[in-house]
Chain A
Amino acid sequence: MTRTRTRDGVHPGWITLTAFLAPAALIYGVFSVYPLARTIAFSFYRPQEGGAAQFAGLANFVTLFADPYWSEGFFNALWNNLIFFAVHMAVQNPVGIALAALLAVPGLKGRSLYRTTLFLPTMLSVVIVGFIWQLVLSPLWGVGEELMTAVGLGSWFAPWLGEESSALVTLSLISVWQFVGIPMLLVHVALLNIPRDLIDAARVDGAGAFGVFRHVQLPLVMPTVGLVSILTFIGNFNAFDLIYAVKGALAGPNFSTDILGTYFYRTFFGYQLQSGNAEMGATVATVMFLIILAGVMIYLFFMQKRMLRAI
């Protein structure tokens, strides 16, 4: 054995160390990191007539951003994706925080039953959730209309998923319905970890339940809200399943629900008469990678600032 001890810890010897790390590093490297790097590399190449692809610099990116045939679809998808994300931020986080706060009320009976129930939709397949809501909102079946009539809002009902003006927001809200469990659970856990003394101290100082939440608990769970936001950002900017299940690869009506995931799919695989294009697909994926990377950087920048301030 070649294991050695130093002041800061144990070194088991390189053979043992390699044996522990190699399986994970190898599979992850070969099937995740390498394809990602290769996809980025693909985006700088162009296929040649009957030959190997040729290096083309940034030509694919210029095509994607400037050639109307590509850019119209791309910027439409990017804009729709931003709306998709904005709806999540505006609805999912506040509702999730509110539910977490309700679940954390002291003396609440049935807490774990509520928690299990409210988190349930998050566990379901996005595909299944999409189909379920498609049926519920279907004007053909009329369940949604009937329910709205029952509470006096019948005249507000419309085939939201079918109309160009409302399909995207409706799909975003379906996604929010499904994933609100994530902010709820994570914020709930963060609330449970706040020392009891802190809350008691605020109480003694005369703060009411809402005051305690607003001035003590909420600021302390903001890092968790930040974490949820970046997770939502990453999830939203490579979302695909929901749109594909409900609207198909063409993300209708008239591409009004097209987001980067579905645009990437069509570019790479083709659809109907247009054939797939691996290099342009890789280019779209690279842009998606850069968008996600930018989001992560911004998140880390703010988190780091926070951490420095805490020190």
Chain B
Amino acid sequence: MTTRMRLWAVHVMLLVYAVLALAPVLLIAMNSFKSRKGIFRDPLALPTGETFSTVGYERVFANSDLWLWFANSLVVTVVTLAAVVVFGTMAAWALAAYRFRGRLVVGLFLALGIMVPIRLGTVAILDLMTSLGLTNTLAALILVYIAQGLPVAVFIFSEFMAQVPRDLADAARCDGVPEFRIYAHIVLPLIRPAIATVAIFVMVPIWNDLWFPLILAPGEGTRTITLGVQQFIGQYVTDWSAVLAALTLAVVPILVLYLALSRMMVRGLTEGALR
């Protein structure tokens, strides 16, 4: 087989799988722009002048608090990410740069969280949140998600920080620069690519999570988008236009984030962590 033919075969196989990966999502998005008749008569056809309709979207916006759910999810993920990046880089720097007694213990303590899913502590987490008066608040979700995100973040940041040349920090120390400034002004700017990697690994599971919103904050006012859409679909099962529109709307934000960060994520993976 010539190289050319082999490359063609590879393209064909990858294309077939790409269709398998994309088709279900595209099918949903395409049909969300059709009338009920169009959805059922010919599901595989693009919307035409006759079948085009945005009635599903109108119904989602009229009958749900989509914007509120979206805002809740945004607050939870952004605040969590900010805290994870700040606290995570601080801890990772301490573990990577300093030699002190108990370093291994602290490292293993944090590594435990990578192996053991935080969900298993749910019974006590709910108990704790109830006694703190935090049930049905976004704060409850944020605190749990920070705790969930930190171990992975510290792990990824440490990998990157191990590559920061030692002389850089040492030179600053010779000039009498305080440790915190070394971290904030020398180290942080150098590990910026790691932040994109962490952003994906921390934000996506939080944005997509159903478990903790369902248990800690199921109230109307604190629903995240994943929980909100799940409940909405449960309620409007028979309204196909609305269901398809709700699903499409739920995919859009994560799609935008992914397309914005995917290049950096792969670079982060190839150059730093998990190598």
Q: Are the CB atoms of B128 and A31 closer together than 8 Å?
A: yes
**How many A-B Cβ pairs are below 8 Å?**
257
Interface size class of B (residues with CB under 8 A): 35 or more
Known: A107-B7, A112-B266, A128-B251. A10 touches B119 (CB 8 A): no
Q: Select the stretch in A56-64, A97-105, A152-160 that faces chain B.
A: A97-105
- Counting CB contacts under 8 A, is A148 at the interface? no
Residues of chain B in range 76-112 having any CB-CB distance to chain A below 8 Å: 83, 86-88, 90-91, 93-95, 97-100, 106, 109-110, 112
Nearest CB of B to A96, in Å: 11
How far is A116 from B14 in the complex, measured between Cα atoms in Å? 12
Known: A10-B99, A120-B258, A285-B122. A238 touches B6 (CB 8 A): no
Q: Are the CB atoms of A120 and B21 closer together than 8 Å?
A: yes
- Counting CB contacts under 8 A, is B123 at the interface? yes
Q: Are the CB atoms of B180 and A19 closer together than 8 Å?
A: yes
Nearest CB of B to A206, in Å: 16
Q: Which 3 A-B pairs have the closest CB atoms?
A: A9-B99, A35-B121, A125-B208
Binding site for B on A (CB under 8 A): 1, 3, 6, 8-12, 14, 16-17, 19-21, 23-25, 27-36, 38-39, 42, 99, 102-103, 105, 107-108, 110, 112, 114-121, 123-128, 131-133, 135-136, 141-143, 146-147, 177, 185-186, 189, 192-193, 209, 227, 234, 238, 240-241, 244-245, 261, 268-269, 278, 281-282, 285-286, 288-289, 292-293, 296
Binding site for A on B (CB under 8 A): 3, 6-7, 10-11, 13-14, 17-18, 20-22, 24-25, 27-28, 39-40, 43-44, 83, 86-88, 90-91, 93-95, 97-100, 106, 109-110, 112-113, 115-125, 127-128, 143-144, 146-148, 150-151, 154, 169-170, 173, 178-180, 183, 204, 207-211, 214-215, 226, 229-230, 233, 240, 243-244, 247, 250-251, 254-255, 258-259, 262-263, 266, 269-270, 274-275
